Amino acid sequence: MNTTFQDLGLSKATLVAVERMGFTQPTPVQEQAIPLAMTGRDVVAAAKTGTGKTAAFALPIVERIGRSKRSGTPKALIVSPTRELAMQIDQTCFALSKNSKHRVLTVVGGISYNTQINKLKRGVDILVATPGRLWDLMDRKVVHLDEVEVLVLDEADRMLDMGFWPTMKKIVAATPESRQTLLFSATIDRKIMQNIEPILKDPAFVEISQSGETADTVDHFVMSVAHREKQNLLRAVLRTKGADRSIVFTRTKSRSDSCTRQLRAAGFSADSIHSDKSQSQRKRALDDFSKGRTNILVATDVLARGIDVSQVEQVINYDLPDCPEDYIHRIGRTGRAGEAGYAISFVSPESKCLLRDIEKLLGEKIPTLSTDDYRKPEAHDNSEENVEKPESKSNGEGSAKAKTVGIHLKHGVHRAGKRNADSSTHKARPNKNRTRSRNQNAAGAGAGQPSRKSRPGQNSSCYKPAGSYAASSSRKASRNKSKQLNRAR
């Protein structure tokens, strides 16, 4: 018998909100975590991406917390590592709390402090935040956590990787010890437990996925390619498989921008999203992709977990991630909520060691696709990373520009060959000007002046005759004698 949301002990008002959001049946992590959280117990949950973890902690919060009576003093605090993830948690909490009238506010970097401070003063019940901005607002004495009833750490492993844990320990210390703590992530390992164990009280564990397990609905493959050929292969894959609803992951922010420019130049609808973009730029890029105004979103690893968009057709790893766990989160952007997903990773010779680490984590070899069918259509594409020089074609095919270049090259070779032939069969003719200059220098040397040779890259005719050098040397000797007399005085 299938479990329903009515079986989880939710109130009628919350069930109406659940139905409004289109939820029909709880996912495994929701089915196991919600009843435990409803009792007030600490919960540590590990589940694959795209399995409804946000609703698994948002529903118990809406059911359990009261209303705040002091400004800037939330009853529930949800901390996430990225702005985009925080914004999406905000949307879910806002939709689920419409009937309960809880006030939801999100504070992240890239937005004016004054705007957020004014909203905090009007009161907040559920506060969603990134660690850096939350600590800044606490330092300004506009956020107070002494009445927090429920603390949620979303993607705690990512917070550790990004260096947020020292800040998080100070944030947790500002909350009451009587609080309930909920920790949700795609992966929970020994390193995470060593850090979070001190802040938990007899937690219940919900483990829907093991470490290194990918979503069952995602087919993923690797393609071997030289780094300089990646852009050509990317365009070929997008033209062959289709470019709609595609996410491309790169290792660096600069490569993300470069890849986006090249895709646009090739006629694709693409935009980039990374931490150097302003919050408004990031939000616009994500909204355009979500609403279909942009077909391709190029992102960095920092946002691998912050992108939650339905019906993503494919994920392309332009660069393999440095952290093997990030591979799972990247390809988890597709195949969400039971939908079929597809992922391809480009593997250059330099990144084969990263592939071995990923396969070790997964416990299996990733199938390989041949690139032969993809390279041919892009063989003569130009890009910022791989600009091919036009070649002459003996069969007469190709552009007029290529033919012209080929003709010029041929003529140049012919002329050079003729000069070489002449020099080998005829004696070099003496240069009268050069001979005259040598004679003048020799005359100067006979008068006690050293001869001067031509400087590299300079014509000998640019130099003064030997008589001029003699006059110049005489003036110099006179100046030196004058200086000696001055010193003697």
Give me the pLDDT at residue 51, please.
Answer: 77
Which pLDDT score, from 0 to 100, does residue 428 have? 45
CATH 3.40.50.300 boundaries in the chain: 5-207, 218-378
Low-confidence ranges of the chain (pLDDT < 70): 1, 49, 209-216, 302-308, 337-338, 373-489
Give the span between the Cα atoms of 77 and 149, in whole angstroms: 8
Distance CA 211, CA 329 (A): 12
Burial category of 372 from C-beta neighbours within 10 Å (exposed 0-12, middle 13-18, buried 19 and up): exposed
Q: What is the pLDDT of residue 474?
A: 55
Torsion of CA 325, 331, 337, 340, to 10 degrees: -140
In this prediction, residue 303 carries a pLDDT of 66
Q: Give the pLDDT score at 275.
A: 80
Distances (CA, A) of 397 to 394, 404, 406: 8, 12, 12
pLDDT attached to residue 338? 64
Element housing 235 (H / E)? helix 230-241
Q: What is the pLDDT of residue 204?
A: 94
- Helix crossing, 83-96 with 12-20: angle to 10°? 120
**In Å, what is the CA distance from 274 to each residue of 147, 211, 212, 355?**
34, 26, 25, 24
Helix axes 432-446, 466-488, angle to 10 degrees: 30
The fold adopted by the segment(s) 218-378 is Rossmann fold (3.40.50)
Where are any strands of DSSP class E within 266-366?
270-273, 296-300, 314-317, 341-347
Question: At the topology level of CATH, where does 5-207 sit?
Answer: Rossmann fold (3.40.50)
DSSP category for residue 389: P
Separation in Å, CA 331 to CA 191, 208, 212, 344, 353:
23, 18, 12, 9, 19
